[in-house]
Structure 1
């Protein structure tokens, strides 16, 4: 049976590898604006030994480790990240599934059928399949979460200092992979506080060591950002969504994951979010009372609770993209483990002997129903994006590949731009991706001083994409009201303009 622990997990890992192959078979890994930031920094690392983005400043909105990771692979392989991204994600998703299977083989109680069902649910989760179809830092971060759980459990079992430092080191690297990795630091810190097997003096020392090591790289990264750019994580706007609204969006993602139709989200999303988070609180409290903090199941529950609360609260105070499956993807596996392992525990320990078979059959039926539901979602996405020859939405999908404007940017004579005259755009990452040129993003409406500064510029070029409406940026109509723009090149989906210093159409 020990051999089966590995062979069946390897089989599921191969399935995971193939799943990402399928979803990247048309146009490779999906490329979003974030992906371009990562790849441009990785290219600069290979070419110039720094982690500057295409606009010649250090990468700030995102931590440094993922572009460094891509840069190292690019340097060793002499291959561009866009070219190897799909294969890299295939291996990382396969590794994620292997680590998941390895961990579940050590659940108490454990079950091969349970492991097979849950591994299938992980592979087929639409959120994870989307994440591992793109060049996104979550692909690495989710792996780091599982590695942390493995190592931190070794610490909880032995209380050996070497495992504590190792776990803190993983947390430190994760913190410079995703800023949300402070949740890993929080998970370890919370479990250290709750651990009643350590004497107070030793516990205090371990908390200090863990805290210092785990945040060390993040502090260094943020300090570097502040010294070189004046901000620690780039310009951030205050949130425009309330706690209640974010809780609803949180629940909506879980509704999507369990197959509830969108029309029923208003009824189920908020109650589901509350039940999920309170359920984790209750499970953690139960394990604390039982002195069972050192199980993988409890580690998963603790991380899912800390991460879920962090996303909801941070979205309440800081504005970023609406809570969606990508943002919650690091929580999926721990949350799935948390609730399904409770079901397994109930069947094995608490269900009456004459009811265990019926309870197990019901659990299997529910899991098969869920797996079928998400398989159908994945099948539809495959049909829409791959079978119908469209590609993963982003800068390599058919809309962009067939765009006359994008193709013009790829091959245009850059001599149309006068030297030392600034180029601005509503999608500066798209300008770089298609033309290789650097440009500046037009200012956000929220930052009034930046808007005023922009309108005082004596001469500039403007590359505008008509199909990329961003309500947070000043729009083309507003610019045209103030600046007399001359059309250099016009297309259906965009245009290149020049402002040559002629008198404004209205007073600034």
Structure 2
């Protein structure tokens, strides 16, 4: 026992170092991955440092995303005097290492726990392809997932002691998370559900604690949404109704778990049944823990969050249109789900008295975990070979396709005087224009918003920077625009796109 107690924290630190090294490996060629969302965060962070506001490159307040992550980047940039695109991989590596350390700390306090179980689970977390993707990009999920674990740690302290101090601390974590990602309302929901189910609280005290927790945890989100509405007229930017029904979103939810379990696309026929089993399993486990009065365990808090978050993603995707359910969207759910569906083995081993049966169950679990770890390791190895060994880089605006792009390199070095002052520049990828040229531009309108399309076609003079390889079906396309406007080519780049001008007075 003395040996195990001695390594209780050193082994967690060891796996944290491995996690840091994993991110270093995947960012070793072209640094942190830069996506359109990354550019939004980065431009707001730069403006925070330079002007003290959170405006994006198009001079408007950041609305589609909450304010804390770009503020977080801006604070680090202000202190270090380094741009987020340069320190991004360091930040991601440190946060991933912190995530693993928090995970190990929590697992060590499972009821019961095991060092072998802990090591296998930490390896499975480090090697999860979804998490490795998230933590190699400048995305707010990197901070949000860490906040989820911090919330679990603090909220468990509250459930053990039922003091207002710990309740307020948990609510503050929830409040900050809500302005990191809007999906953090699931943290608020998780805490609220556990408070409602907690039978050890007297009714009057329960009501008071729910009110305190609810008021504090949504306070910053309400302030953020109020600011958005005041300055832009929308609370979270323009949103379109969903085009995917509930059953389709349930299927997409299941395909992500198929990927995480090492299934191939040929086995996606299992996606919907798997999604139903996973969500139903969380519900059954929560009900079981409620009747067994085991709500305060880390395992139960994790199960509750996984259930609330999973349902939120499926249901919100059914009513509002955003990117299709994918590993990035479900990444905050991976660790809680892994804990929820693996910790049962510890409970079974604790209750089995027959030594041979215990050894058999333990061997079966270890074999299953090693098989799973091998599968995801091979996925990671393939990704590493494709992106790093073959010198391509993390997909995004710093990968080889863009670095070797004639159009991107022209935007970096062009004479900006070709654009007349005060004439609006439009693009189908306005974030790409900013990333490569530093210029502000505006997105061409979505087809769904008819009034915006009409206003666009009423413009008498504008410039258009069009990226053919980024064409978005939800936006009006180049063919549509050319059917309404006689565009004058300024510079064309074959299949890559071109720069155009429309001036009614010169036609």
**Length-normalised TM-score, structure 2:** 0.98
Match of 1:354 among 319, 344, 356: 356
Deviation at 1:354, TM superposition (A): 3.3
- Matching residue of 2:12: 9
- Matching residue of 2:156: 153
Match of 2:110 among 87, 91, 107: 107
CA distance in 2, matches of 1:497, 1:58: 28
Q: In structure 1, the residue corresponding to 2:489 is in which secondary structure?
A: strand
Moved more, 340-349 or 276-285: 340-349
Deviation at 1:345, TM superposition (A): 1.2
CA distance in 1, matches of 2:354, 2:255: 35
Match of 2:183 among 180, 185, 209: 180
Deviation at 1:204, TM superposition (A): 0.3
- Matching residue of 1:245: 248
Kindly provide the CA deviation profile for residues 384-427 of structure 1, in whole angstroms up to 9, marking residues without a partner as x.
00000000000000000000000000010000001100000000
CA distance in 2, matches of 1:413, 1:217: 43
- Matching residue of 2:393: 391
CA distance in 2, matches of 1:5, 1:32: 39
Q: In structure 1, the residue corresponding to 2:476 is in which secondary structure?
A: coil
Deviation at 1:464, TM superposition (A): 0.1
Deviation at 1:3, TM superposition (A): 2.6
CA distance in 1, matches of 2:31, 2:186: 31
Kindly provide the CA deviation profile for residues 152-200 of structure 1, in whole angstroms up to 9, marking residues without a partner as x.
0000000010000000000000000000000000000000000000100
CA distance in 2, matches of 1:308, 1:176: 19
CA distance in 1, matches of 2:201, 2:236: 37
Match of 1:49 among 49, 52, 55: 52
1:122 equivalent to 2:125? Answer yes
Kindly provide the CA deviation profile for residues 204-254 of structure 1, in whole angstroms up to 9, marking residues without a partner as x.
000000000000000000000000000000000000001000000000000
Q: In structure 2, the residue corresponding to 1:27 is in which secondary structure?
A: coil
> Contact 1:117–1:367 (CA<8 Å) still a contact in 2?
yes
CA distance in 1, matches of 2:340, 2:180: 25
Deviation at 1:351, TM superposition (A): 7.1
> Contact 1:17–1:90 (CA<8 Å) still a contact in 2?
yes
Q: In structure 1, the residue corresponding to 2:470 is in which secondary structure?
A: coil
Equivalences for 1:468-483 in 2 at 5 Å? 468-483=470-485
Match of 2:200 among 197, 201, 206: 197
Q: Which runs of 5+ in 2 are unaligned?
A: none
Q: Which runs of 4+ in 1 moved over 4 A?
A: 350-353
Match of 1:286 among 277, 285, 288: 288
- Matching residue of 2:37: 34
Deviation at 1:494, TM superposition (A): 1.3
- Matching residue of 2:306: 304
1:265 equivalent to 2:268? Answer yes
Match of 1:428 among 426, 430, 442: 430
CA distance in 1, matches of 2:369, 2:216: 40
Q: In structure 2, the residue corresponding to 1:462 is in which secondary structure?
A: strand
Kindly provide the CA deviation profile for residues 424-458 of structure 1, in whole angstroms up to 9, marking residues without a partner as x.
00000000000000000000000000000000001
How many residue pairs match? The answer is 503
Match of 2:421 among 412, 419, 422: 419
Deviation at 1:481, TM superposition (A): 0.4
CA distance in 1, matches of 2:240, 2:455: 18
- Matching residue of 1:452: 454
CA distance in 1, matches of 2:498, 2:375: 43
CA distance in 2, matches of 1:384, 1:173: 37
- Matching residue of 1:95: 98
Deviation at 1:352, TM superposition (A): 4.7
CA distance in 2, matches of 1:442, 1:350: 64
> Contact 1:251–1:272 (CA<8 Å) still a contact in 2?
yes
Kindly provide the CA deviation profile for residues 270-304 of structure 1, in whole angstroms up to 9, marking residues without a partner as x.
01000000000000000000000000000000000
Kindly provide the CA deviation profile for residues 342-377 of structure 1, in whole angstroms up to 9, marking residues without a partner as x.
122122225754311101000000000000000000
1:313 equivalent to 2:315? Answer yes
- Matching residue of 1:382: 384
Relative to structure 1, the CA distance from residue 17 to residue 191 in structure 2 (aligned partners, 3 Å threshold; closer, same or farther) is: same
Match of 2:337 among 315, 335, 338: 335
Match of 1:437 among 436, 439, 454: 439
Deviation at 1:469, TM superposition (A): 1.7
> Contact 1:484–1:502 (CA<8 Å) still a contact in 2?
no
Q: In structure 2, the residue corresponding to 1:367 is in which secondary structure?
A: helix
CA distance in 1, matches of 2:445, 2:131: 33
Match of 1:22 among 25, 29, 32: 25
Q: In structure 1, the residue corresponding to 2:460 is in which secondary structure?
A: coil
- Matching residue of 2:469: 467
CA distance in 1, matches of 2:100, 2:326: 22
Q: In structure 2, the residue corresponding to 1:495 is in which secondary structure?
A: strand
